[in-house]
Amino acid sequence: MELELSSEDAAFRDEVRAFIAENYPQEMRVANPETDLTREQSLLWHRILHKKGWIAPLWPKEYGGPGWSVTQRFIFEQETSRAGTLPPLAFSVTMVGPVIYTFGNDAQKKKFLPGILSGEDWWCQGYSEPGSGSDLASVRTKAVRDGDHYIVNGHKTWTTLAQHADWIFCLVRTDPAAKPQAGISFLLIDMKSPGVTVRPIITIDGSHEVNDVFLEDVRVPAENLIGEENKGWTYAKFLLGNERTSMAGIGRSTRYLARLKQIVRTEVGEDDAAFGEFIREIARVELDVLALEATELRIVAQMSRGIDPGPAASLFKIRGTEIFQRITDLTHQAIGNYGLAIREHPVTANRFMPGPDYGHTATEKYLNSRKLSIYGGSNEIQRNIIAKAVLGL
């Protein structure tokens, strides 16, 4: 499905498409880019986009954005995702960057924004804590003012790719007496500071994407506080809004569906009774994707007319993650007996994996995608948001 594009927008789409085709690094086309790339390899595309001036579609022009319309941004998102490119560092560009240029002071903008755009600084997110789950306002990490520093003590968890990070943006409690949301501040912490320890968390697919981050008497310059003390919740909510918009994942689901069809055609003969069953299940998911894509296009059209999308992000998150989980489930089923095998991490070429190449990541993807309905505000929480904000319940 396509937006009806003006000739300028169509030309833009062709330009984006050609740029990806000519510039996306072959080195990044590995079996599972999310787990198989080194830190340096993950940054290759980020740097290419930065050089082109396309690294931060959402940012205003004055801070380094390309100055695109809503439609152009959507086209860019659609093309990069359809082409299966690894997104640039999301915690840097999509999350902390906008917080800094919206709520930070001039010195902070000058200090941090260039490194975010270039990829020189890798950012991770210090929101979740043990026991916090989707209830982020329950932050217990403490920051106590000591002259021109804060002394930070606490434990952040589920911190994605903290093992690569130079900086972490943290929610910290600065006023223990206030109501949960009122005593939180937004603090930027250098990962090289004494007292910061990163411990890997291995997930059920065997990969190392997330970490515990321990903060022990970490001295953080007070100039790294974003906005006002105890107003951090406002900035955090602003950031979460950005996190949830990107979860429909139409491009990714479309690519994985195409691959699933290829696997079913190769692995399951047409005379196999399972074939018809797979075809129907695939059709069902395809219609789910189509409906979600149509919804996304409708919302984009409304936004370009200046209409607030409201909690549409929650809808995208729920359906986008459920659809992708279903696709990984069907793919795991499609590879049959080889669904018993799983790659060992860290992945090396000399470890034997049985069966056709296209099945090698099916098991780990099925396992890994269970996280989608949990993180970024669980799908139960997203349903609560819609119940309250849309249905008025």
Query: Which residues have a catalytic role annotated?
Result: 243
Q: 117-127 burial, b for 16+ CB within 10 Å, e for fewer?
A: bbbebbbbbbb
Least distance in angstroms from the C-beta of 382 to other proteins: 12
Rule CB under 8 A: say whether 358 interacts with other proteins: no
Q: How far is CA 292 from the centre of its chain?
A: 18
Sole binder of other proteins in the list 22, 352, 392, 393 (CB under 8 A): 352
Cβ(333)–Cβ(286) below 8 Å: no
Contacts of 378 (CB under 8 A, 6+ apart): 133, 134
Q: Is 25 left (phi over 0), alpha (psi -120 to 50) or beta?
A: beta
Rule CB under 8 A: say whether 265 interacts with other proteins: no
- Which phi and psi angles does 265 have, rounded to 5°? -60, -35
Sole binder of other proteins in the list 70, 198, 240, 274 (CB under 8 A): 274
Instruction: Give the amino acid at 257.
Output: L
- Specify the residue, 59 or 91, whose C-beta has the smaller distance to other proteins: 91
User: What CA–CA distance (Å, rounded) separates 137 from 179?
Assistant: 9
Which pair of structure tokens corresponds to residue 269? 């003969």
- Helix 7-23 × helix 39-52 angle, to 10°: 140
Question: Pattern of binders to other proteins over 134-153, x per CB under 8 A?
Answer: xx--x---------------
Which neighbouring-strand residues pair with 221?
149
Sole binder of other proteins in the list 268, 299, 312, 315 (CB under 8 A): 268
- Specify the residue, 157 or 224, whose C-beta has the smaller distance to other proteins: 157
- Specify the residue, 51 or 383, whose C-beta has the smaller distance to other proteins: 383
- How many C-beta atoms lie closer than 10 Å to residue 326's C-beta? 18
Rule CB under 8 A: say whether 63 interacts with other proteins: no
Rule CB under 8 A: say whether 388 interacts with other proteins: no
- Specify the residue, 134 or 193, whose C-beta has the smaller distance to other proteins: 134
Place of tokens 């990829």: 119
User: What CA–CA distance (Å, rounded) separates 329 from 332?
Assistant: 5
Which pair of structure tokens corresponds to residue 171? 């929610």
- Specify the residue, 23 or 378, whose C-beta has the smaller distance to other proteins: 378
Question: How many residues sit close enough to other proteins to count as binding (CB under 8 A)?
Answer: 45
Stretch binding other proteins (CB under 8 A), from 82-90, 115-123, 243-251, 371-379: 371-379
Sole binder of other proteins in the list 272, 291, 346, 388 (CB under 8 A): 272
Least distance in angstroms from the C-beta of 282 to other proteins: 13
Least distance in angstroms from the C-beta of 270 to other proteins: 13
Rule CB under 8 A: say whether 40 interacts with other proteins: no
Least distance in angstroms from the C-beta of 333 to other proteins: 6
Least distance in angstroms from the C-beta of 302 to other proteins: 29
Question: Pattern of binders to other proteins over 312-351, x per CB under 8 A?
Answer: --------------------xx--xxxxxxx-x------x
Rule CB under 8 A: say whether 373 interacts with other proteins: yes
User: What CA–CA distance (Å, rounded) separates 117 from 96?
Assistant: 11
| Residues 202-261 contacting other proteins, CB under 8 A | 202-204, 206
User: What CA–CA distance (Å, rounded) separates 370 from 238?
Assistant: 26
User: What CA–CA distance (Å, rounded) separates 316 from 324?
Assistant: 12
Q: How far is CA 257 from the centre of its chain?
A: 20
Least distance in angstroms from the C-beta of 202 to other proteins: 4
- Helix 312-334 × helix 379-389 angle, to 10°: 150
- How many C-beta atoms lie closer than 10 Å to residue 12's C-beta? 19
Least distance in angstroms from the C-beta of 241 to other proteins: 20
- Interface with other proteins by CB under 8 A: which residues? 128, 131, 133-135, 138, 157-158, 201-204, 206, 267-268, 272-274, 277, 332-333, 336-342, 344, 351-355, 363, 366-367, 370-371, 373-375, 378, 380, 383
